[in-house]
Amino acid sequence: MLDEYAWAYVNGVSSIDNIEKARLYSYITRAELAKIMVQYVAGVLKKKPVVEWTVSYSDVDESLWEYASYINLAYQYQIMWINADGTPLKEFGPKSLITRAEFASVLSRVLYWDRYNVDGSEYYTMHIDVLNQAGIITNTNPSILERIEWVLLMLQRASKDLPNTKKVSDVKICPISLEDEQKAAYEWALKYWITSIDDPYAARLSDWLTRWEFAKMMVQYMINVLHKKPILNEDVTYADVDWSLWDLEWYIKLAYQYQIMWIHWNWEPLKEFEPNRILTRKEFAAVFSRILFWDKYNIDGKEYWTNHIKALKEISVLTNGDPALLEIRWWVMLMMYRTAEDAMNVNI
């Protein structure tokens, strides 16, 4: 892991010189992959864009200022979020997590242009096969979610025979270190089985948190911290939750039985859980407020989170009330920890 990160840093694929901040264990979003791939194509392969015109996706706006230019360049290089004929898709899905199928199709286009493009629901098959045969990919499961470390490793493998890539021997990497409030929250979460990973680096504390991971954490909080039992016994079915999530399917169902997650204001379950989407501050606030205050702050409508955020700010569980903020794992641990210990003065 350290080698591929050092390779990416010295070759300009990553500009982050601190291994903790690089979030190598983190799942990678489409926007993040666009940035990495553009830096790889331009900096390592020394290629130039194929087309000059700009592209507009309906879900890419000024809030994505860090990634918008890379998303546009990914289209100009004709490697990401295009139809088989090269025209752009209507939406980019910048915050969606990348699957192996998606990454393989992107890297295959980078290396082999459109040679392995096919239309249809299994568009990725030939892309995965050719990368597997080249020794770049070993796990050919198309639905696996990509992590940053895996993407960097596969790019390193794809570049092993390139003459101009730089060596990694002189790269200095900053080690992981936990600040006081992060350490306290992590150790508390470990004590109560909110996380079962006793290595802070492997616990991916600086990663964004998906909705299914959050379901598991909140169920453990209900069981091991609050010692509460489920309210309902009945099962629930979400259209996008199946056996492929393994034990997490069980936690998602328990979250419904506790009546804390992915329900309407009137307690009816939503049709979809969207397990792989990254959790936002408004979603966290709504769930945690229901745990602490039951339905006291439930309201219907587009701004359902307003009262939940306000209530949690009043008791100093959270201080940053931006509803669109994407949650990071240790922030969630800290906000749960604050209900059990004295509040810490940190802007989360």
Domain ranges of the chain: 2-158, 180-337
Q: Which amino acid is at 331?
A: W
pLDDT tens figures, 142-162: 998 998 889 999 999 998 776
What does residue 49 show for φ and ψ, rounded to 5 degrees? Answer: -55, 150
Q: Give the span between the Cα atoms of 308 and 97, in whole angstroms.
A: 27
pLDDT confidence of residue 325: 84
Burial state string for 34-55 with b = 16 or more CB within 10 A and e = fewer than 16: bbbbbbbbbebbeeebeeeeeb
DSSP letter (8 states) at residue 319: S
Residue 317 to residues 85, 94, 187, Cα–Cα distance (Å): 50, 29, 18
Tokens of 186: 């992590």
pTM score, two decimals?
A: 0.53
pLDDT confidence of residue 270: 66
Cα of 28 vs its chain's centroid, Å: 5
Q: Give the span between the Cα atoms of 198 and 186, in whole angstroms.
A: 9
Tokens of 110: 């980078």
Q: Which amino acid is at 41?
A: V
Cα of 167 vs its chain's centroid, Å: 30
pLDDT confidence of residue 173: 44
Tokens of 135: 């020794």
**Which residues, other chains included, contact 342 with Cβ-Cβ below 8 Å and sequence gap of 6+?**
none
What are 29's strand-pairing partners?
97
pLDDT confidence of residue 176: 43
Q: Give the span between the Cα atoms of 205 and 26, in whole angstroms.
A: 9
Low-confidence residues of the chain: pLDDT under 70: 1-2, 17-20, 82-86, 162-179, 240, 242-248, 262-270, 341-348
Cα of 188 vs its chain's centroid, Å: 23
pLDDT tens figures, 268-288: 666 777 777 888 899 999 899
